[in-house]
């Protein structure tokens, strides 16, 4: 397959990738159930090393038991850990969520902040979590969410040659138009689950196939 050489060819290829993603995943959005930015922050912390499905089984009951950030701020981490046990890594997640709640209540008046700089001061909120919450709950394009799917597909599509998530994000924000950052993240996550899976990508039905020269592309 001919690889893009000029800036114009690279841009045309990116446009083609975005168009292909739009065809395959026109309504891509975050799969984590939430009613407000705080609930999305909690759900995102819970989603580390856990499926969205499992998180969605836990959060309705959790938010009924602790309806506000103030409720989470007041609970002991070991008590919360028992409530979120099925999501795995529950002790660390409970500490992060209680710490996040205390910071949101004490420093931000009970509201999840709207800037990446403030978000990154919240326990348990690294760039991935901050970008998920700002993008999905507030519609603020603060960056590109880089999870395992976005990392893998960005590498396969030669949008980055880095492996560190922060560096991958720096590469992506240079080549993906800012107005596409939020949707692009959701689309790649869906693509990673549906077709471009880690072990054996299903390349035949993939609309990005004509633009993809990944080493592990399937014939």
* 59-67, 104-112, 141-149, 195-203 -> range binding ligand SF4 (CB under 6 A): 195-203
195 forms part of the interface with ligand SF4 (CB under 6 A): yes
d(CA 52, CA 159): 26
Residue with Cβ nearer ligand SF4 (46 or 195): 195
Residue with Cβ nearer ligand SF4 (105 or 157): 157
Residues 144-163 that bind ligand SF4 (CB under 6 A): 153, 156-157
d(CA 166, CA 154): 13
**Known catalytic membership, residue 147:** yes
d(CA 110, CA 204): 48
| Token pair 């633009």: residue | 211
Instruction: Confirm if 126 and 92 have CB atoms less than 8 A apart.
Output: no
Question: Phi and psi dihedrals of 64, rounded to 5?
Answer: -75, -35
18 forms part of the interface with ligand SF4 (CB under 6 A): no
Selected binder of ligand SF4 within 196, 198, 200, 215 (CB under 6 A): 196
212 forms part of the interface with ligand SF4 (CB under 6 A): yes
**Known catalytic membership, residue 52:** no
135, burial (CB in 10 Å: exposed 0-12, middle 13-18, buried 19+)? buried
Quote the least distance from Cβ 183 to ligand SF4, whole Å. Answer: 17
Instruction: Confirm if 31 and 56 have CB atoms less than 8 A apart.
Output: yes
81 forms part of the interface with ligand SF4 (CB under 6 A): no
Residue tagged active-site, from 22, 147, 158, 171: 147
Length of the chain: 219
Q: Which residues are catalytic?
A: 128, 147
Return residues touching ligand SF4 (CB under 6 A).
153, 156-157, 195-196, 201-203, 206, 208-209, 212, 214, 217
């Amino acid at each position: 397959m001919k690889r893009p050489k000029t800036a114009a060819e690279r841009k045309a290829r990116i446009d083609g990738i975005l168009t292909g993603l739009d065809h395959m995943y026109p309504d891509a959005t975050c799969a984590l159930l939430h009613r407000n930015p705080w609930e999305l922050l909690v759900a995102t912390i819970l989603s580390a090393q856990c499926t969205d499905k499992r998180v969605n089984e836990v959060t309705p009951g959790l938010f009924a038991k602790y309806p506000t950030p103030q409720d989470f701020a007041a609970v002991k981490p070991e008590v919360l850990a028992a409530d979120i046990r099925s999501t795995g890594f529950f002790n660390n997640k409970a500490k992060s969520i209680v710490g996040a709640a205390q910071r949101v209540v004490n420093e931000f008046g009970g509201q999840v902040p709207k800037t990446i700089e403030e978000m990154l001061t919240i326990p348990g909120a690294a760039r991935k979590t901050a970008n998920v919450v700002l993008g999905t709950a507030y519609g603020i394009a603060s960056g590109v969410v880089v999870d395992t799917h976005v990392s893998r597909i960005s590498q396969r599509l030669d949008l980055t040659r880095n492996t560190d998530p922060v560096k991958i994000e720096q590469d992506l924000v240079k080549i993906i138009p800012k107005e596409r950052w939020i949707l692009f993240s959701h689309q790649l996550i869906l693509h990673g689950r549906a077709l471009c899976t880690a072990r054996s990508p299903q390349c035949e039905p993939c609309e990005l196939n004509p633009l993809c020269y990944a080493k592990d592309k399937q014939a």
